[in-house]
């Protein structure tokens, strides 16, 4: 479907000025989706500082934006930031990653109905997706846009709620899209389907997958014995489908007390899939196997005490690291992926989101703190911490080369971590 929207596009810099600043070797470092290049929050970063002094880390630039927790997409030294422009519209801002200057503004209708609870904000939560030279976004109210930066046009758009009957969760749409070859896959969790795949830029529907109840989690891509699988954690079950046709390969039933799964599943090369519940729910570790042409998923262990899932969860080696807690307390914890046993649990941070690069964790928490830490099976060592932001729900930092691009509710900044 071709787009004819009431768009407001304002050009503030010629893109040719930006292109002249892009070094050929540097172009290879990207952050094309939620979770980074491999969708597991592992960044290709090198030579980060071992600690910060009073002059570091340096804030290279800081710009005001409007409300929204969506994290930052990075491609070829351009970042893409989404926000809630006003009560009736959302926005996408491409910005020069070097200077922070806004290149243009794309606004599109996204009125908020009484279906949604805006207590915690009404800005976009899903991270944009870069695929084949196009930026794909989905906002708080399920409006999808496919934007072509070179032509500065919306190539196609749709509405996951109104057109495809996605289940509208009370705090808005939050699941970040995922790419497979020339297709973009969205989690919709409604009476029509669990997942839906669109060919882009044609907007043709490739397939829909079997039904599951919607959640705030985002799908991931895994490989089991050569078979690629899209894994989505719904509110009532986790489903794995063939990304080529949407056929279901296996399912695993579960439910937490609030139907509020937030974090992505975490995959390991040993066939273990972690399903973080967060808060007061039950987390599950699932072993995915392949035998006799069929796939199966059985519980390896479960936990009501790890509390992982308040922020993102990162696996390094045989351990899971992430923010845990509930409404009363929060902490950073390490859990043995093989056994489910807590290795340690440390307070000192609010709700946190983190990224891993150069053997270190960059932690951003809800108190506005940015920290540099080493997390091992034995302990957490915090090397440095700085208060850079006002308190607010943390989005995951985007780490490219030696810079972190950090989104706060109404602020976006670039921080040099050298």
Query: What is the number of other CB atoms lying within 10 angstroms of the CB of residue 274?
Result: 26
> Does the residue 7 lie in any domain?
no
pLDDT score recorded for residue 307: 76
Classify residue 342 by its DSSP letter: E
CATH number at residue 295: 2.130.10.10
| 36 and 357 Cβ atoms separated by less than 8 Å | no
Tokens of residue 36, six digits: 């980074």
CA distance 77 to 315: 28
From residue 56, alpha-carbon distances to 48, 53, 237, 402 in Å are 12, 5, 45, 13
pLDDT in single tens digits along all 418 residues of the chain = 444 344 433 333 333 333 334 333 334 589 999 999 999 999 988 789 999 999 999 999 999 999 899 999 999 999 999 999 998 999 999 999 999 999 999 999 999 988 888 887 889 999 999 999 999 999 999 999 999 999 999 999 999 999 999 988 888 999 999 999 999 999 999 899 999 999 999 999 999 999 999 999 999 999 999 999 999 999 999 999 999 999 999 999 997 655 467 799 999 999 999 999 876 678 999 999 999 999 999 999 999 887 788 789 999 999 999 988 766 668 899 999 999 999 999 998 988 999 999 999 999 999 999 999 999 999 999 999 999 998 888 899 999 999 999 998 889 999 999 8
Instruction: For 15, list phi and psi in degrees, rounded to 5.
Output: -65, -25
> Does the residue 4 lie in any domain?
no
Closest CA to 277 of 266, 268, 288, 289: 266
Tokens of residue 142, six digits: 């399920």
pLDDT score recorded for residue 29: 80
> Does the residue 5 lie in any domain?
no
Evaluate the CA torsion angle 117, 122, 125, 130 in order and state its sign: positive
pLDDT score recorded for residue 28: 52
Determine the 3-state secondary structure of 378 from DSSP. Answer: coil
| 345 and 332 Cβ atoms separated by less than 8 Å | yes
CA distance 193 to 313: 27
Task: Show the CA angle centred on residue 79, arms to residues 93 and 138, nearest 5°.
Answer: 60
Q: What is the pLDDT of residues 113-124, one digit of tens each?
A: 888 888 878 899
Tokens of residue 180, six digits: 């497979």
Tokens of residue 79, six digits: 């970042």
| 47 and 402 Cβ atoms separated by less than 8 Å | yes
> Does the residue 10 lie in any domain?
no
From residue 82, alpha-carbon distances to 25, 181, 308 in Å are 28, 24, 27
pLDDT score recorded for residue 124: 94
Burial 288-301 (b: 16+ CB within 10 A, else e): beeeeeebebeebb
Q: Is 162 left (phi over 0), alpha (psi -120 to 50) or beta?
A: alpha
pLDDT score recorded for residue 394: 87
Query: What is the number of other CB atoms lying within 10 angstroms of the CB of residue 390?
Result: 11
pLDDT score recorded for residue 43: 96
pLDDT score recorded for residue 47: 87
pLDDT score recorded for residue 30: 95
CA distance 309 to 76: 31
DSSP 140-173: TT-EEEEEETTTTEEEEEEETTTTT-----TT--
Tokens of residue 158, six digits: 């749709």
pLDDT score recorded for residue 256: 67
pLDDT score recorded for residue 26: 39
Q: Count of domains in the chain?
A: 1
pLDDT score recorded for residue 115: 83
Instruction: For 245, list phi and psi in degrees, rounded to 5.
Output: -140, -5
pLDDT score recorded for residue 3: 42
> Does the residue 103 lie in any domain?
yes
| 96 and 80 Cβ atoms separated by less than 8 Å | no
Task: State which residues form the domain around 57.
Answer: 15-416
Burial 31-54 (b: 16+ CB within 10 A, else e): bbbbbbeebbbbbbbeebbeebee
> Does the residue 42 lie in any domain?
yes
pLDDT score recorded for residue 36: 97
pLDDT score recorded for residue 310: 77
> Does the residue 298 lie in any domain?
yes
CA distance 333 to 353: 12
pLDDT score recorded for residue 328: 62
Determine the 3-state secondary structure of 15 from DSSP. Answer: helix
> Does the residue 175 lie in any domain?
yes
E strands, 10-66, in order? 58-64
pLDDT score recorded for residue 2: 43
């Amino acid at each position: 479907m071709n787009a004819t929207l009431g768009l407001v596009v304002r050009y503030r810099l010629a893109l040719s000025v930006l292109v002249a600043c892009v070094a050929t070797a540097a172009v290879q470092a990207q952050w094309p989706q939620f979770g980074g290049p491999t969708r597991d929050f592992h960044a290709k970063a090198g030579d980060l500082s071992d600690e910060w002094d009073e002059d570091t880390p340096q804030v290279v630039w800081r710009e005001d934006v409007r409300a929204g927790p969506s994290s930052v997409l990075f491609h070829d030294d351009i970042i893409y930031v989404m926000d809630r422009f006003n009560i009736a519209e959302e926005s996408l801002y491409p910005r020069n990653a070097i200077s922070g200057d806004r290149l243009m503004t794309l606004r599109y209708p996204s009125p908020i109905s009484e279906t949604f609870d805006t207590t915690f904000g009404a800005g976009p939560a899903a991270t944009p997706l870069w695929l084949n030279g196009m930026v794909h976004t989905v906002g708080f109210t399920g409006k999808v846009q496919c934007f072509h930066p070179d032509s500065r046009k919306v190539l196609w758009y749709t509405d996951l709620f109104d057109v495809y009957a996605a289940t509208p969760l009370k705090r808005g749409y939050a699941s970040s899209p995922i790419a497979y070859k020339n297709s973009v896959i969205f989690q919709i969790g409604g009476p029509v389907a669990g997942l839906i795949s669109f060919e882009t830029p044609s907007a043709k529907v490739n397939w829909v997958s079997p039904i599951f109840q919607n959640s705030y989690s985002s799908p991931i891509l895994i490989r089991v014995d050569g078979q690629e699988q899209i894994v989505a954690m719904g509110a009532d079950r986790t489903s794995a489908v063939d990304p080529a046709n949407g056929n279901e390969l296996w399912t695993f039933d579960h439910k937490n007390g609030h139907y509020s799964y937030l974090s992505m599943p975490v995959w390991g090369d040993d066939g273990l899939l972690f399903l973080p519940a967060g808060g007061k729910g039950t987390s599950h570790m699932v072993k995915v196997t392949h035998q006799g042409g069929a796939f199966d998923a059985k519980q390896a262990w479960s936990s009501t005490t790890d509390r992982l899932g308040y922020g993102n969860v990162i696996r390094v080696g045989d351990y899971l690291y992430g923010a845990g807690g509930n409404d009363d307390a929060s902490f950073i914890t390490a859990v043995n992926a093989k056994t489910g046993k807590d290795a340690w649990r440390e307070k000192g941070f609010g709700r946190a989101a983190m990224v891993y690069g150069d053997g270190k964790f960059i932690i951003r928490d809800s108190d506005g703190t940015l920290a540099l830490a080493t997390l091992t099976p034995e302990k957490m060592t915090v090397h440095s911490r700085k208060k850079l932001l006002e308190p607010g729900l943390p989005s995951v930092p985007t780490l490219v080369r030696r810079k972190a691009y950090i989104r706060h509710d109404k602020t976006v900044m670039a921080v040099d971590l050298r």
